Amino acid sequence: MADGCYRIFPLGDNALTIEFGTDISELLNNKAISLAGYFEAQPFPGFIETVPAYTSTTIFYDLVTVRNEFAGFATAFEAVENIVENVLDKLDKASENGSRIVEIPVSFSESRALDLDFVAESNGLDRSEVIEIFISKIYRVYMLGFLPGFAYMGEVDERIDLPRKASPRLKVPKGSVGIAGRQTGIYPLESPGGWQIIGRTDVELFTPHEDSLCFLRPGDLVTFVEVETSLQ
């Protein structure tokens, strides 16, 4: 990796995390995505899966297999750490991840934008200004997590940002577009949740089909377009 700066720590006895930094950055996020992609494509014996996040990648492994296959190391943790360090050198030369550009239609009608008035009021704006500011940006998908297909996207313009609700909603409707601080995300399923809901989309973010589980993936660039409330 270009700056060679990272930290590796165990996440239990069957996983480790490589943390490239502690601040949101496209560069660090790309590193996390590339590293995860490398192991998904070229797994080592005992490899289970990766989770790329904002600035980190976590690798889950079967410690029994790793211990048996890499007997020269005192621990499975050290063996995987060594594998990761070797791969990080190689990835240095790796090219950028190709980003897809994805358009998501959103309805901001009153019945769907549950917290739009609150977001507007809290930021001293009116509804249309919040919508205008929100849809004028291109957002990057940094990671998936929380729920199947839930994409953490950023960064929301600070003129319209707002922390999570103090008390989460018990039921956030499927397709709800929310804001939490400077992050935005879409609920792929009905779920409890604390994000401030400013609109809703009909796009299926998650389907149970193995080959098309999630509509969005890390590294995607997302634009939201306002649609009339012809959505059901």
Partner 1 sequence: MSLLVTKEGIFTTVQDLGRFGRKRFGINQTSVMDAAASRLINILLDNDQSEAVLEMHFPACEILFEGDAIFALGGADFGVELDETPVENWRSIFAEKGSVLRFRQKLSGNRAYLSVAGGFEVVKWLGSASTNLAAKIGGYKGRTLKKGDQIGLKTKSARSEFISKQISRSPIPPYSQFPVVRIIVGAEYELLTPLSKQALKQNFTISNDSNRMGFRLSGEPLCLSETKELLSSAVNFGTIQLLPDGQLVVLMADHQTSGGYPRIANVITRDFPLIAQLGSNDKVAFQLVSVEAAENLALEFETELNVLKAGCKYSG
Residues near partner 1 (CB under 8 A): 9-15, 17, 19, 22-24, 36, 40, 48-56, 58, 60, 63-64, 67, 74-77, 143-150, 152, 188-189, 191, 206, 208, 210, 213-214, 218
Please state the closest distance from residue 201 (CB atom) to partner 1, in A.
17
The structure tokens listed for 82 are: 């060594």
Helices 76-91 and 26-41: angle between axes, nearest 10 degrees? 120
Comparison of 43 and 105: residue with beta carbon closer to partner 1: 43
Contact 57, 43 (CB under 8 A): no
State the Cα angle at 46 between 40 and 50, rounded to 5°.
35
The pairing of strands 101-107 and 221-227 is parallel
Please state the closest distance from residue 170 (CB atom) to partner 1, in A.
14
Comparison of 11 and 225: residue with beta carbon closer to partner 1: 11
Please state the closest distance from residue 98 (CB atom) to partner 1, in A.
18
Contact 174, 190 (CB under 8 A): yes
Comparison of 60 and 118: residue with beta carbon closer to partner 1: 60
Please state the closest distance from residue 214 (CB atom) to partner 1, in A.
5
Comparison of 62 and 129: residue with beta carbon closer to partner 1: 62
Contact 79, 63 (CB under 8 A): no
Q: Helix or strand or coil: residue 56?
A: strand
